[in-house]
Amino acid sequence: DAGVIQSPRHEVTEMGQEVTLRCKPISGHDYLFWYRQTMMRGLELLIYFNNNVPIDDSGMPEDRFSAKMPNASFSTLKIQPSEPRDSAVYFCASSDRVNTEAFFGQGTRLTVV
């Protein structure tokens, strides 16, 4: 398995634009997590899914953020409209309930100018 795959690796966008981050979890994993990492706040959990269903989205900062998981092999995190303070590295991770180890993708570095 190639691991958790995220795209794009880097995204630079202008304030007010819509940004969509993509994630392909490891096949067979039924938990998917979206994290945001900044120097100031460390790793913050935004939302997580179990069997494609959102379980806890209390970490989503604002209504500008939304996440979907239409099937077991794909998830998106959308920011609309984007703001400079959204600049961060966004990680997707997946885990197998039995194993519990979370496998992280390489991350998407988002810069909003």
Give the residues across from 37 on adjacent strands. 43, 89
Q: In the numeric block, which tokens belong to residue 11?
A: 């995204």
Q: Which is nearer to another protein, 59 or 81 (CB)?
A: 59
- Site residues for another protein, 74-113, by CB under 8 A, read 91, 93, 97, 100-107
Measure the CA–CA gap between 83 and 71, rounded to whole angstroms: 29
In angstroms, what is the minimal distance from the CB of 69 to another protein? Answer: 15
Tell me which residues in 24-83 interact with another protein (CB under 8 A): 31, 33, 42-43, 45, 48, 50, 55-56
Closest C-alpha to 86, from 107, 67, 62, 110: 110
Q: In this complex, which beta carbon is closest to another protein, that of residue 78 or of residue 109?
A: 109
